Structure 1
Amino acid sequence: MPIPPDIATGRRRFLAGLSLLALAPGLAACGSGADDSGPSGGADSENGTQDGTEDGTEDGAFPVTIEHKYGSTTIDRAPERVVCVGLTDQDTLMALGTVPVAITYWFGDESLHGIYPWAEDYLGEADPPTVLKDSDGIEIEKVAALAPDLIIGQYSGMSAADYKKLSALGVPVVAQNGDYADYGTPWDVAALTLGTAIGKPEAAQRLVDAAKESISQAAAAHPEFEGETAAVVTPYEGLFIYGPEDPRSQLLTQLGFTLHPLITGADDSEFGISLSSERTTDLGDAGAVVWIDYSGDKQIDRLWEGTTAYDEGRWFDINGDDSPDYYVAHSFVTPLSIPYLVERYVPQLSAAVDGDPQTAVPAVRD
């Protein structure tokens, strides 16, 4: 099964050349309640939780047992030192008042420690998380040195071997959901699991509902999306088209689009398919094509520029040079990044789908 290129390769380091912060050994940010790490009016306070403790843990939240790919894990009490081995898990945790002691770097500006504009207010006075890498597997020794009391990975491809090693540290480990492929757990399912793990399932549900509402409102405001075919694509070993289990494609369908038959008709296409560059012209009848790093293959550029979709302006490019934060948000797809993304993404989709080449797709600048 093809894995999206951003997962398979660690994503293009589109901000290479920026100065990276030197990470101090043992840098850690203890998890804290929403009152001292989240912004005023954050997820817990804004929605009026019925919290049972000062740190916002909900009554009856513990002990809790969570099912996952490698079995089940019981968490007896609210964790204070959470290590994220999932690539986007920090957003939900921070929105619910827990700053993780470590995050796993995916792509973007490493000096941000995994805290992007849509989440930075939730850092509060806490220290930034330690940055872990997973290019050669989970850094077990570094995780152990952080003395976590919960290790969790939802947008993750945690292996059985790594799960076993992490479990040997003697702390609860919650792997990705076993009902989906690795890196395929829907953002809302992941968020609810993360909220349950830290004792805030009701607050997590409110957070998910708010993000879904932003999508629903955008879809309702743009009925022209309904029934139009769309695809998210990138030049990678030919042409890579993101599949129905990828969060980027899922967001398109939630906005009302139908995925292009080139991807829906393919075998083993959960995350996406790799095609030869020559197949680029097969997307020429699409209602909208979202490119990631469009100018990455001269042959693809030439073929795409000969299609009807190109001539009618039914496309746009998202790249890290023009808008690095937006570029990251488009792939993160979390309860925090979704409102930020929708505000910028939907006007571009609307301009593309009208089929009028005179309608300029609005640029996004961070």
Structure 2
Amino acid sequence: MHRRSPLPLLLAALLGTHAAAAPVTVKHERGTLTLPAPAARVAALEYSFVDTLLALGVRPVGAALGTQGGDRGAPPYLRAQVRGIPATGSRAQPSLEALAAARPDLILADAFVHKDTSVQFARLAPTADFQSRRGSLADLNAQTLAIGQLVGREAAARRLLADQASLNAKARAFAKKGAPAFVAAVVTPGSFTVHTDQSFVGSFLEALGRKNQLAPRGDQTQYGLSLEGLVALNPASLVLFTAPDEKPITDTWKQSPLWQRLSAVQRGRVYVFDRDDWTRGRGPQALKLMVAQTIRSRFLQDAAPATGFGTP
């Protein structure tokens, strides 16, 4: 029996090893990061990074899933997927000890939340900082590609982005031409924070075909507003992101004649979404959920909110 020479197999193995170990370089908020090979053990300190890694088929070795400092924990759509991933503190208060124990070869940090602590992370492992909490849809899409490159799954990342672009295009077909501009805000029991056209959710809704009424205030893509300030804007459509287990400040505002004067209220165009899924996930999986809910809500059509998406 003729035996095949092991040389071709050996060469293929060597070439495959060489390709897998090729250095990877990406730009991030603190400069340029070069890894000698794609990262295999990644710690993620924001939910968007966790979402993106899981969408790419990479399970983090540690993630900021804790509830210290008032953090509400992982968004509902992610909770089943993150079971068993070691918690490395919360997003606001990462644990250096837990990070070190995870032995990551890459840490993904938030350029806004971790601006004062990122240097400490870099002492544990190479660290890439991205604008997640204060990023726009374009920023989040760019980091999906960068993370894909860092973990050696660039082709998969590009597929995710292409799928998202296709979904967005389909959603835009529902958008009513000439619909009035909207104001979007995250509402808690004590605050009303508007999200401009350069915020994540504000730019996302624009990408689906509706016009955001607000531009950033200086360098603030999100900022607080009073009821009087909202009345001064008088939006024709109002999009609110609330938590189902909280009593939002707008419940109190509804008792005021000022609230009743709002054009959006008079037109019946106040839409409500779960802020835990919408404003904290910010990854490819969250975006799919958001597109589906936006279409179902009837916001794009500038029609009265569908059941489950209007004010209680």
CA distance in 1, matches of 2:249, 2:18: 49
RMSD: 3.3
SS in 2 for 1:97: coil
Query: Does the 8 A contact of 2:42 with 2:105 survive in 1?
Result: yes
CA distance in 1, matches of 2:172, 2:17: 34
Q: How does 1:59-208 map to 2 (within 5 A)?
A: 62-105=22-65, 110=73, 114=74, 116-117=76-77, 120=80, 123=81, 128-134=84-90, 137-153=93-109, 157-159=113-115, 161-169=116-124, 171-176=125-130, 183-184=134-135, 186-208=139-161
SS in 1 for 2:48: coil
Which of 243, 256, 260 is the equivalent residue of 1:305?
A: 260
Q: CA deviation at 1:137?
A: 3.7
Q: CA deviation at 1:212?
A: 1.9
CA distance in 2, matches of 1:297, 1:115: 22
Partner of 1:46: none
Structure 2 unaligned spans of 5+? 1-11
CA distance in 2, matches of 1:278, 1:93: 42
1:4-52: per-residue Cα shift (whole Å, max 9, x none)?
Answer: xxxxxxxxxxxxxxxxxxxxxxxxxxxxxxxxxxxxxxxxxxxxxxxx9
Partner of 1:314: 269
SS in 1 for 2:130: coil
Count residues in correspondence. Answer: 283
Query: Does residue 296 of structure 1 match 2:249?
Result: yes
Query: Does residue 362 of structure 1 match 2:312?
Result: no
Query: Does residue 353 of structure 1 match 2:308?
Result: no
Q: How does 1:36-51 map to 2 (within 5 A)?
A: none
CA distance in 2, matches of 1:228, 1:57: 56
Q: Aligned pair in 2 of structure 1 residues 333, 175: CA closer, same or farther (>3 Å)?
A: closer
Task: Tell me whether 345-354 or 251-260 shows the greater mean CA deviation.
Answer: 345-354
Query: Does the 8 A contact of 2:271 with 2:299 survive in 1?
Result: no
Q: Aligned pair in 2 of structure 1 residues 96, 119: CA closer, same or farther (>3 Å)?
A: farther
Query: Does the 8 A contact of 1:94 with 1:119 survive in 2?
Result: no
Query: Does the 8 A contact of 2:175 with 2:301 survive in 1?
Result: no
Q: How does 1:7-46 map to 2 (within 5 A)?
A: none
Q: CA deviation at 1:250?
A: 0.9
Query: Does residue 231 of structure 1 match 2:231?
Result: no
Partner of 2:289: 340
Q: CA deviation at 1:242?
A: 0.9
CA distance in 2, matches of 1:173, 1:115: 24
Structure 1 unaligned spans of 5+? 1-51, 320-326
The one-letter code matched in structure 1 to 2:58 is T
1:40-70: per-residue Cα shift (whole Å, max 9, x none)?
Answer: xxxxxxxxxxxx99xx999578301222222
CA distance in 1, matches of 2:55, 2:44: 14
Query: Does the 8 A contact of 2:227 with 2:253 survive in 1?
Result: yes
1:263-295: per-residue Cα shift (whole Å, max 9, x none)?
Answer: 22x632542222232122234342x21112384
Partner of 1:328: 276
CA distance in 2, matches of 1:312, 1:154: 39
CA distance in 2, matches of 1:144, 1:209: 35
CA distance in 1, matches of 2:209, 2:21: 36
Query: Does the 8 A contact of 1:244 with 1:272 survive in 2?
Result: no
